[in-house]
Amino acid sequence: MARSHSLILTLLSLTTLVVVGCSSVERARPRPQASSTIRDLDGMETTSIMRGTVGAETVILGWDDSTSPTYRPVRIRGYGLVVGLEGTGSRDAPPNVRAHMLQLMARQGIGSERIGFGDMSPESMLDSQNTAIVIVEGIVPPGAVGRRRTPPSASGRMPEMLPGTTFDVHVHADPRTGTTSLEGGRLYTTDMSPGPLLTGDRQARVLGQSAGPIFLNPFLEREDVSAGDINTLHGRILNGGQVLEDMPLKLRMINPSHSRVRVIQDAINRRFPLERGQARPTAHAVNDAAIELTVPPSMREKPNDFVHIAQHVTLRQIDTDRVANTIRRSLQRDPSHAASAYWRWVAMGPQALPMVRKMYDYPEALPRLAALRAGAELGDAIAAESLRDMLASGTLASRLEATTLLAKLPSDPRTEDVLRSALNDENVEVRLRAYEALEQLRSTAVHRHLVPGRFELHQVASAFPAIYVTQARAPRIVVLGEDVPIERPMTLGLWDNQLLMRQSSDGGRIEIFHRVHADGPPEVNQITPTLREMILLLGHAPSVEDPTPGLGLTYSKVVGVLHALWKRQYVAADFKAQQDRILAELRRAATTSDYQPRPE
């Protein structure tokens, strides 16, 4: 009995030891269910197509997609001086603004012989009715590249100045002055800073500069612009701003790790190696949780694209065919991954093309379009055949897309033939998109005429006449149609009859009377009644090199005349103005506080 009792106690003791011992053993976790997303430790979700990319392990600070409603670029402003006016400026200015301008003008050398204003002091320049104090505004995209000088090379190459990211500038007269018009003016070099519009030492650091001739847009404020009316106190300088300092972006590691930071840094730098004029590598690890990004000079005009590519860079540089094929299969399973698939292929570069080409004729629209976009971005000439078919027989949206993508591919006579045919499309948007593609390809179908110091006139053959004027980047007037006639009989008077047009007595020509001053004698010219002859006469300024008759009107006035001719139905053509992006961006930026520091 005692023996059996002892045996029972021994068994109980062993059982207790087993239970206690097993309590310290880690048990296998339940196997996760298959999912199209990966959930990281912070609860963020990453789609499966993003596995193995920079974006799967990081989040980016200081940037958001320019197509998103939350896009908040940096708004920069400053006080500037417009010169070259014809008595429409003002000497009035608030005392603090006047003192600020005098200080800036002296610092920039006005009054010295070396810049051409030696006979005029800052005070006398501000007191002139031919100058005006203005407020200058611009929008700088996140990740913008600053202007910098390249170092001298060992081979003896001299240093050169690489321009920074450029942007359009909005200019308006200070409402506290008596300025009546900015027409014909030119903005003197102006410093621009983020934050509130301040004077003196209270300003933030200078991020950009702007300068150039002012374009007064007749379509700026109202849609019901009357013939020849121009808002003379608001204008812009197309492509007139330039960023001075790099605006680096930061990647934050979701799970800090020294080893993973190095892997990500090296992957980005392989995709974007150091370029001439680049002060530091594209990706620079700050610590185990942060990587600083600098947009390389070749992407200075496309910082948005750079960020997308950097986020979709593949970390492993082996088995690229297998990775590209995995992306293709993921896209086939779920077409909603089209945008991510496109950026992943672009980030991989030409090595992805064998798998991308397999999707050019895929039956579903989204995967096919993602592949064609990637092929066009990577310069794959094989994509041209599918894109030409899409332009010839697709929906309106797909035809517009195909036209844009064809412009990215190497020049091909078959492509040019299709684009020339699109110039005769009944839809004006298709015709304009075809022109833009031909211009980007530098096709001989586009006849270019430079009006020095003012704008370019482009003309292309089309069965449906149209007038297209740009409002961003570069001043350009485009005429679709070879010899677009001006209808007669006609009579037109603009700007208190400073400009008069009428049919000549023999009916075969148009007489144009122009007075530089309201009370001065008119200059009379006759032209054949075509848009081309009209535009060249209006814009050309006679010189010793080219004494051809011309009125030397500004770009904005020429556009105003064309709009008046169209509105009075003297020109049977469509009239299109490029969308005013800068004003829309400034208004959107004004809905938030004047300055919000980038999150660090």
Convert the pLDDT of each residue in 382-415 to its tens digit.
999 999 999 998 889 999 999 999 999 998 999 9
Helix (H) or strand (E) holding 104: helix 95-107
Cα 509 from chain centroid? 42
Write the pLDDT tens digit of every residue in 552-598.
Answer: 988 888 988 998 899 899 999 999 887 655 555 555 555 433 333 33
Tell me what pLDDT residue 144 has. Answer: 83
Tell me what pLDDT residue 473 has. Answer: 77
Of the candidates 510, 509, 434, the one whose C-alpha atom is nearest the C-alpha of residue 478 is 434
pTM, rounded to two decimals: 0.76
Q: Name the one residue in this structure whose structure tokens are 């979701």.
A: 254
pLDDT range class, residue 71, cuts 50, 70, 90: low
Sheet of strand 455-460, all strands in order from the earlier edge strand to the far edge: 447-451, 455-460, 476-480, 466-469, 574-577
pLDDT range class, residue 228, cuts 50, 70, 90: very low
Break the chain into its structural domains and give their ranges: 37-149+160-316, 320-445, 451-583
Indicate the angle between helix axes 555-567 and 531-539, nearest 10 degrees: 150
In this predicted structure, the answer to whether residue 292 has a pLDDT above a threshold of 50 is yes
In this predicted structure, the answer to whether residue 23 has a pLDDT above a threshold of 70 is no
Helix (H) or strand (E) holding 75: strand 74-83
Summarize the chain as % helix, strand, coil (round to 5).
35, 20, 45
Question: For residues 562 and 477, is the Cβ–Cβ distance under 8 A?
Answer: yes
Tell me what pLDDT residue 65 has. Answer: 65
In this predicted structure, the answer to whether residue 480 has a pLDDT above a threshold of 80 is yes
Q: Name the one residue in this structure whose structure tokens are 């149609």.
A: 481
Distance CA 512, CA 533 (A): 12
Arch. (CATH architecture) of 320-445? Alpha Horseshoe (1.25)
CB atoms within 10 A of CB 259: 8
Tell me what pLDDT residue 497 has. Answer: 84
Question: For residues 85 and 188, is the Cβ–Cβ distance under 8 A?
Answer: no
Question: For residues 171 and 136, is the Cβ–Cβ distance under 8 A?
Answer: yes
Question: For residues 73 and 105, is the Cβ–Cβ distance under 8 A?
Answer: no
Question: For residues 62 and 256, is the Cβ–Cβ distance under 8 A?
Answer: no
CB atoms within 10 A of CB 182: 28
- Average pLDDT value for the chain: 82
pLDDT range class, residue 30, cuts 50, 70, 90: very low
Write the pLDDT tens digit of every residue in 119-152.
Answer: 678 888 888 899 999 999 998 888 788 887 766 6
Tell me what pLDDT residue 70 has. Answer: 62
Tell me what pLDDT residue 454 has. Answer: 86
Write the pLDDT tens digit of every residue in 152-210.
Answer: 665 666 667 778 888 889 999 988 888 998 888 899 999 999 888 888 777 778 899 99
Retrieve residue 2's tokens: 């005692």
